[in-house]
Structure formats: C-alpha cells, structure tokens
C-alpha cells in the first residue's frame, strides 16, 4: 500500500477522531513513578510526547508540564510540574533498547533538557521517517490522517497543563498524542521494505556537550603546550 504525500485540512476534519483504546494513568507521586517505570522497562517500544503550558505573553515561556509515555494498552502521564524528572524516568529516556516513537522528538528532548541534563537515546522521529514512505506532511495531525485515516484532535493543545487537576478531555488528548505515534509507526512498518532500519536519534544535553567541548579544548591545549615544550628542548 502506498500513502498519499499530502492532505488538506478539510479532508482531515472529515475523518473520525483517533482515541486511545487503553488505560490512562496519571503519575504524580514517587510510588506511581516506580510502578510506571517498572512497566515501561519491560517494553521494546513506546509512544512519546510532551505538553507545555501555553504562554499568551510575549517573552514569557514555561517549562514542560507533562511527559507522556505510552504502551499499546496504557499511557502514563508524568506530571513534571508536580514531580521531578526522576532517574528512573531518565533510564527509560536514555535506553537504546527501549525505542521511543514521537513527532519532532528533538524539540521535545530539548524541552526536557531545560528541566534536567541527561543523555537521551533510542528515539524515532516520525517526521524524519515518513518521507521514506513518500509522505511530505510533518504534523502529527496530518500524519495520523494519511497513515491511519483518523484525525488527531488539537482542541486541548492550548489548555492549562499545570492545572490542579487535568480534565478528562486533557488526559485523553495528551494520552492519544503519544499512543497514536506508536500506532502510526506500527502501520508504517507493515509497508516497510525488508531489512528497513529507522534512524535512531540520541541527544546529549547542551550542558554535557559544552563540558565535553571544553574538555576537548583543554586536552588539545595541553597537547599543544607539551608539543611546543618538547620542540624547544
């Protein structure tokens, strides 16, 4: 089966809505982090997304409020506005064995790095992979429409993700975004040529990269000084 390259907004709007078919679990305590990460650690592949409280003032930005990690039958909503980006979560995000599928994952990882420095690994970006199937669209909404013939709602995108309690609509929206990434990838793989291998994305934090760069400069300077000293002897 071949996929169309593009799709217009009117056609997308006419499609049935995509909705997660499994459980949605809010994670906002240490005990819940332990249980969620224990489950996710057993998976080979999960869906990935983040949500950030919108800002309606120029120059004002907010940090990531929510991290969504989804299996086929359960999506965990980690409320990062309430809990720390725990080492147990980072172990999942840094595992090359556990593949994390999302759209614009580099942007999401960059946002998470603003909370805490870590090395991300094992990510697959649908925006990078879709062109291999002749798809030109980049948004999750249109990727879902083309690949699944289902519409991803964006009605809750600008809602308050730091609210005291997330509404059912917010929970379903956030969970579906991560879950549908997994579903899109599964559908694409059914049409992939034999032996196809996706691009696996890894990303170090900017702080780690800066430290590594500084270390290399110092090492190079020491080698140069030592070389100059040896030449002068």
pLDDT for 205: 73
State the pLDDT confidence band at 158, using cuts at 50, 70 and 90. confident
Q: With a cut of 70, say whether residue 207 has pLDDT above it.
A: no
CATH classification at residue 45: 3.30.420.10
Q: What is the SS3 string spanning 143-195?
A: HHHHHHCCECCCCCCCCCCCCCCCCHHHHHHHHHHHHHHHHHHHHHHHCCCCC
The answer to whether residue 228 sits within a structural domain is no
State the pLDDT confidence band at 204, using cuts at 50, 70 and 90. confident
Out of 60-74, 188-202, 210-224, pick the least confident. Answer: 210-224
Within 8 A by CB and 6+ apart from 138, the residues are 103, 104, 127, 130
The answer to whether residue 232 sits within a structural domain is no
Burial group, residue 162, by CB count within 10 angstroms (0-12, 13-18, 19+): middle
Q: With a cut of 90, say whether residue 176 has pLDDT above it.
A: yes
The answer to whether residue 79 sits within a structural domain is yes
What are the Cα distances from residue 112, in Å, to 49, 182, 223?
11, 20, 36
The answer to whether residue 223 sits within a structural domain is no
Which tokens go with 77?
């909503």
pLDDT (average), residues 119-124? 98
Which tokens go with 125?
């970006």
pLDDT above 70 covers a percentage of the chain that reads 86
Q: With a cut of 70, say whether residue 213 has pLDDT above it.
A: no
pLDDT for 60: 67
State the pLDDT confidence band at 222, using cuts at 50, 70 and 90. low
pLDDT for 120: 98
Pair type for strands 74-79 and 201-203: unpaired
The answer to whether residue 168 sits within a structural domain is yes
The answer to whether residue 218 sits within a structural domain is no
The answer to whether residue 4 sits within a structural domain is no
Contacts of 87-94 with CB under 8 Å at 24 or more apart are 88/33, 88/34, 88/37, 89/33, 89/37, 90/116, 90/118, 91/37, 91/41, 92/37, 92/40, 92/41, 92/46, 93/118, 93/120, 93/121, 94/118, 94/119, 94/120, 94/121, 94/122
Count: domains in the chain: 1
What are φ and ψ of residue 223, in 5° steps? -65, -40
pLDDT for 15: 97
State the pLDDT confidence band at 154, using cuts at 50, 70 and 90. confident
pLDDT (average), residues 164-180? 96
Which tokens go with 69?
């990690």
What are the Cα distances from residue 213, in Å, to 60, 71, 112, 153, 207?
30, 37, 21, 42, 10
Q: With a cut of 80, say whether residue 224 has pLDDT above it.
A: no
pLDDT for 226: 53
The answer to whether residue 154 sits within a structural domain is yes
For residues 200 and 101, what is the distance between their CA atoms, to the nearest angstrom?
A: 10
Q: With a cut of 60, say whether residue 95 has pLDDT above it.
A: yes
State the pLDDT confidence band at 90, using cuts at 50, 70 and 90. very high
For residues 78 and 84, what is the distance between their CA atoms, to the nearest angstrom?
A: 9
State the pLDDT confidence band at 2, using cuts at 50, 70 and 90. confident
Q: Name the residue range of residue 152's domain.
A: 9-204
């Amino acid at each position: 089966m071949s996929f169309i390259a593009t799709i217009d907004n009117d056609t997308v709007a006419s499609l049935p809505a995509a909705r997660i078919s499994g459980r949605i679990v809010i994670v906002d305590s240490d005990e819940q982090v332990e249980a969620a990460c224990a489950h996710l650690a057993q998976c080979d592949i999960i869906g990935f997304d983040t949500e950030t409280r919108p800002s309606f003032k120029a120059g004002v930005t907010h940090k990531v409020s929510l991290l969504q990690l989804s299996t086929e039958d359960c999506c965990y909503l980690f409320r990062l506005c309430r809990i720390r980006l725990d080492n147990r979560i980072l172990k999942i995000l840094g595992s090359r064995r556990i593949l994390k599928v999302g759209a614009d994952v580099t942007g999401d990882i960059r946002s998470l790095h603003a909370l805490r420095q870590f090395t991300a690994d094992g990510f697959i970006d649908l925006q990078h992979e879709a062109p291999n199937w002749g798809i030109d669209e980049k948004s999750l909404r249109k990727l879902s429409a083309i690949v699944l013939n289902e519409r991803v709602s964006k009605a809750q995108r600008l809602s308050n993700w730091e609210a005291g309690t997330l509404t059912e609509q917010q929970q379903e929206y956030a969970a579906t975004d991560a879950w549908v990434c997994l579903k899109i990838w599964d559908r694409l793989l059914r049409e992939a040529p034999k032996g196809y291998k996706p691009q696996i994305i890894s990303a170090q934090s900017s702080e780690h990269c800066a430290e590594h760069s500084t270390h290399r400069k110092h090492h190079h300077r020491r080698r140069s000084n030592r070389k100059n000293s040896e030449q002068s002897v």
